């Protein structure tokens, strides 16, 4: 087990490391936290740029750090390793322990188990810990003094997006640390946006049943291992601070809060102490979310501040989410790699797992397996749809282990060369992430499994080999269909031909009409699958098309099957006349005024 690990004592120590590694850019130009930082950071992230430290935030003294985790290299630096796979290797060693046969083996196993447990969080009692150098209570509490961002134009307000929220179970006293966005309502109250499946929400219901007020602390700007642990899919009841200590190879030091019975990291930049009122909810949102769409308004619990404590010269640490790629994509990539060994303990056939950024984490998972028996891929699909956070996956694609599932173009080509709609599709229903807007109702809807594994004896049929055919001229396919605004064949040399079209949608079920009109023009039966998108200019961007499809498709309704194994997929915005009774969310995008202002400022920022 690797003991050589960089353990940062604080966020500011990590900032210093980023600067030494030329991974940090200091922005000295005056910039507003209202939309402007978002527009700059979004451009920087999508260019593969460095972490940004805004030192001159209009109206505030504290600087703002963003995009600190926005690359695979910075994610590794954050966790103190050369590659995040090293942490996965440590976990794999722990869960691969065999029953010892000899004394020497017993001592070796004890040493390895001790490696995991010797870094528990440690409560300390210094006179003035860094996170409490300044203590504000009662009328001195004012969230308006912190440079909290409004990220996107249609957001319901300013949101704290990177808080590690500390709570504890009323029944067991066990600590939980999760990451939940917090909308600022006024100088002393915020929303607490925890989803129903989160441990924080579970603790909340314990207090609600007991009729007691729930203490909570939102910690902003911790050392990177603590921030990462707050986002990790830990089993219920396991202390995230134990994971942080295991990653750092060093205990996380905690201090008691000033006004509530909780402990928080001693070196944090800001700590918001308070309580959640169990009888009060308030409308939270909308919010430009990691799906690339605005999540809808909904009632959530309200967090009341009883104190704000912070360092003497704090840094406000934040992130933005939106259309991928974004900073959180690199966090999820590290998470899927680090926790893969734990997933394998339940499903040992899994070789690798990839969560494409276009799937925004819950809409698509690609998994390779070592297949040993018939229908193993379908068994795994059913099992994963009942496993932890994998249960929220809307689409699962299972391949054999000889395919590089991280090469998405390769996966797509393999699919279009080997796919058999009669045999390979598996549809079911189940729980969905609350952010999935394509389903008929929140939290529940249809799911799609795609089995691309080789057939073994005992499976009913071998795949039929699809004949190679020539690609028809695109002009002939779209002739006489005036609503089509663009068309593209992304993989013309594969056996199954895919056509992507965009339309100016004017009426319900128009995607079906367009697909049927294209096939009427397709006299040589050259096109097998048609994706129909709303009018856009990005049809030749495979990543954009995939993002649209994963977000906007309800498999049960939007996959339309025709004779000769033809499939049309409706990726357009749905309406009530199509049986969609919810409000379709707006796509995230910056307003023209902010874009124009940053255009003028861009050359002065020094961003490559």
- Please give the average per-residue pLDDT across 587-602, as a whole number: 97
Annotation marks residue 592 as catalytic: no
Give the pLDDT of residue 466. Answer: 66
Answer yes or no: is pLDDT of 81 > 90. yes
Place 268 in a pLDDT band, splitting at 50, 70 and 90.
very high
What is the rounded CA–CA span in Å between residue 131 and residue 221? 10
Answer yes or no: is pLDDT of 99 > 60. no
Q: Which of 289, 328, 420, 522 is catalytic?
A: 289
Answer yes or no: is pLDDT of 199 > 70. no
- Cβ atoms within 10 Å of 32's Cβ, excluding its own: 18
Name the residue with tokens 């939309």: 35
Give the pLDDT of residue 486. Answer: 95
Percent of the chain residues topping a pLDDT of 70: 93
Answer yes or no: is pLDDT of 18 > 90. yes
Give the pLDDT of residue 196. Answer: 63
> Can you read off the two tokens belonging to residue 123?
């409560």
Give the pLDDT of residue 105. Answer: 42
Place 38 in a pLDDT band, splitting at 50, 70 and 90.
very high
Work out whether strand 64-66 and strand 51-54 pair parallel, antiparallel, or are unpaired: antiparallel
* Same-domain check for residues 406 and 501: no
Q: Is residue 332 assigned to a domain? A: no
* Same-domain check for residues 300 and 355: no
pLDDT digits (tens, 9 = 90+) for 44-70: 999 999 999 999 999 999 999 999 999
Answer yes or no: is pLDDT of 96 > 90. no
Give the pLDDT of residue 114. Answer: 46
* Contact of 392 with 362, CB cutoff 8 Å: yes
* Same-domain check for residues 181 and 51: yes
Reduce the DSSP state of residue 233 to 3 states and report it.
coil
Q: Is residue 190 assigned to a domain? A: yes
pLDDT digits (tens, 9 = 90+) for 356-383: 999 988 899 999 999 999 999 999 999 9
pTM of the predicted protein model: 0.92
- Please give the average per-residue pLDDT across 80-89, as a whole number: 91
pLDDT digits (tens, 9 = 90+) for 504-516: 999 999 999 999 9
* Same-domain check for residues 537 and 427: no
Query: How far, in Å, are 282, 564, 596, 603, 604 from residue 600 at the CA level?
Result: 39, 55, 7, 7, 9
What is the rounded CA–CA span in Å between residue 255 and residue 268? 10
Answer yes or no: is pLDDT of 293 > 60. yes
* Same-domain check for residues 208 and 128: yes
Name the residue with tokens 């977000």: 551
Work out whether strand 444-451 and strand 484-488 pair parallel, antiparallel, or are unpaired: unpaired
Q: In the chain, how many domains are there?
A: 3
pLDDT digits (tens, 9 = 90+) for 384-393: 999 888 899 9
Q: Is residue 606 assigned to a domain? A: no
Give the pLDDT of residue 115. Answer: 54
pLDDT digits (tens, 9 = 90+) for 113-161: 445 567 889 999 999 999 999 999 999 999 999 999 999 999 999 999 9
The b-or-e profile of 133-142 (16+ CB within 10 A means b, else e) is eebeeeeebe
* Same-domain check for residues 435 and 482: no
For residue 360, the enclosing domain spans 351-451
Answer yes or no: is pLDDT of 532 > 90. yes
- Please give the average per-residue pLDDT across 30-48, as a whole number: 97
* Contact of 499 with 518, CB cutoff 8 Å: yes
Answer yes or no: is pLDDT of 262 > 50. yes
CATH assignment at residue 438: 3.40.1670.10
Mean pLDDT of the chain, nearest integer? 91
* Same-domain check for residues 512 and 548: yes
Q: Which residue has the higher pLDDT, 70 or 207?
A: 70
Q: Is residue 228 assigned to a domain? A: yes
Q: Is residue 600 assigned to a domain? A: no
- Please give the average per-residue pLDDT across 539-568, as a whole number: 94
* Same-domain check for residues 388 and 499: no
Strands, E assignment, 129-179:
134-137, 159-160, 163-168, 175-179
Answer yes or no: is pLDDT of 14 > 90. yes
Closest CA to 268 of 325, 228, 227, 329: 227
* Same-domain check for residues 271 and 369: no
Give the pLDDT of residue 464. Answer: 65
* Same-domain check for residues 403 and 486: no
What is the rounded CA–CA span in Å between residue 602 and residue 605? 5
Q: Is residue 329 assigned to a domain? A: no
Q: Is residue 232 assigned to a domain? A: yes
Query: How far, in Å, are 34, 106, 287, 413, 461 from residue 402 at the CA level?
Result: 48, 37, 41, 14, 22
Q: Is residue 339 assigned to a domain? A: no
Answer yes or no: is pLDDT of 100 > 70. no
* Same-domain check for residues 277 and 362: no
pLDDT digits (tens, 9 = 90+) for 303-338: 999 999 999 999 999 999 999 999 999 999 999 999
Give the pLDDT of residue 57. Answer: 98
* Same-domain check for residues 113 and 146: yes
Give the pLDDT of residue 369. Answer: 97
C-alpha distance across the termini of the chain, in Å? 39
Q: Which residue has the higher pLDDT, 24 or 111?
A: 24
The phi and psi torsions of 7 (rounded to 5 degrees) equal -110, 115
CATH assignment at residue 195: 2.30.110.10
Answer yes or no: is pLDDT of 263 > 70. yes
Give the pLDDT of residue 113. Answer: 45
């Amino acid at each position: 087990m690797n003991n050589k690990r960089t353990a940062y004592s604080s966020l500011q120590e990590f900032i210093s490391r980023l600067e030494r590694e030329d991974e940090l850019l200091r922005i000295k130009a005056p910039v507003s936290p209202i939309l402007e930082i978002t527009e700059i950071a979004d451009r920087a992230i999508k260019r593969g740029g460095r972490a940004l430290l805004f030192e001159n935030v209009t109206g505030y003294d504290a600087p703002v750090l963003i995009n600190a985790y926005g690359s695979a290299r910075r994610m590794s630096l954050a966790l103190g390793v050369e590659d995040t796979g090293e942490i996965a290797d440590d976990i794999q060693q722990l869960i691969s322990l065999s029953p010892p046969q000899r004394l020497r083996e017993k001592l070796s196993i004890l040493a390895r188990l001790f490696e995991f447990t010797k870094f528990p969080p440690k409560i300390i009692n210094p006179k003035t810990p860094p996170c409490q150098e300044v203590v504000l209570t009662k009328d001195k509490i004012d969230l308006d003094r912190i440079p909290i961002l409004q990220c996107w134009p249609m957001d319901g307000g300013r949101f704290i997006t990177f808080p590690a929220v500390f709570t504890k179970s009323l029944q067991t006293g066990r600590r939980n640390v999760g990451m939940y966005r917090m909308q600022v309502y006024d100088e002393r109250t915020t929303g607490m946006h925890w989803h129903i499946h989160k441990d924080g929400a579970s603790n909340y219901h314990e207090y609600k049943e007991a009729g007691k007020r729930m203490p909570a602390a939102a910690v902003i700007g911790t050392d990177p291992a603590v921030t990462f642990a707050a986002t990790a899919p830990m089993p219920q009841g396991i202390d995230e601070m134990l994971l942080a200590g295991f990653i750092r190879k060093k205990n996380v030091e905690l201090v008691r809060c000033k006004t509530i019975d909780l402990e928080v990291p001693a070196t944090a930049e800001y700590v918001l102490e308070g309580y959640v009122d169990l009888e009060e909810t308030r409308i939270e949102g909308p919010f430009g979310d990691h799906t690339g769409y605005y999540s809808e308004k909904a009632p959530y619990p309200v967090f009341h501040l009883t104190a704000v404590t912070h360092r003497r010269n704090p840094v406000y640490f934040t992130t933005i989410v939106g259309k991928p790629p974004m900073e959180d994509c690199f966090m999820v990539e590290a998470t899927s790699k680090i926790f893969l060994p734990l997933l394998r303990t339940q499903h040992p056939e899994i070789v690798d797992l990839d969560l494409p950024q276009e799937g925004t984490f819950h809409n698509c998972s690609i998994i390779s397996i070592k297949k040993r028996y018939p229908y193993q891929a379908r068994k795994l699909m059913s099992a994963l749809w009942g496993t932890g956070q994998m249960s929220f996956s809307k689409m699962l694609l299972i391949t054999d282990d000889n395919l590089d599932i991280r090469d998405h173009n390769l996966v797509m080509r393999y699919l279009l060369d080997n796919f058999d709609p009669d045999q390979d599709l598996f549809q079911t229903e189940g729980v969905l992430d609350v952010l999935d807007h394509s389903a008929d109702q929140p939290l529940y809807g249809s799911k799609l499994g795609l089995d691309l594994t080789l057939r073994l004896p005992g499976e009913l049929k071998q795949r039929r080999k699809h004949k190679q055919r020539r690609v028809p001229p695109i002009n002939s396919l779209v002739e006489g269909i005036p609503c089509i605004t663009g068309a593209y064949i992304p993989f013309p040399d594969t056996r199954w031909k895919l056509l992507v079209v965009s339309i100016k949608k004017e009426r319900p079920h128009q995607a079906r009409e367009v697909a049927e009109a294209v096939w009427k023009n397709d006299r040589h039966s050259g096109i097998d699958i048609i994706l129909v998108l709303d009018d856009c200019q990005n049809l030749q961007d495979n990543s954009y098309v995939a993002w649209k499809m994963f977000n906007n498709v309800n498999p049960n309704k939007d996959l339309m099957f025709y004779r000769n194994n033809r499939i049309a997929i409706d990726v357009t915005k749905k309406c009530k006349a199509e049986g969609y009774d919810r409000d379709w969310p707006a796509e995230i995008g910056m307003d023209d005024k902010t874009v124009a202002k940053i255009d003028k400022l861009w050359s002065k920022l020094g961003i490559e």
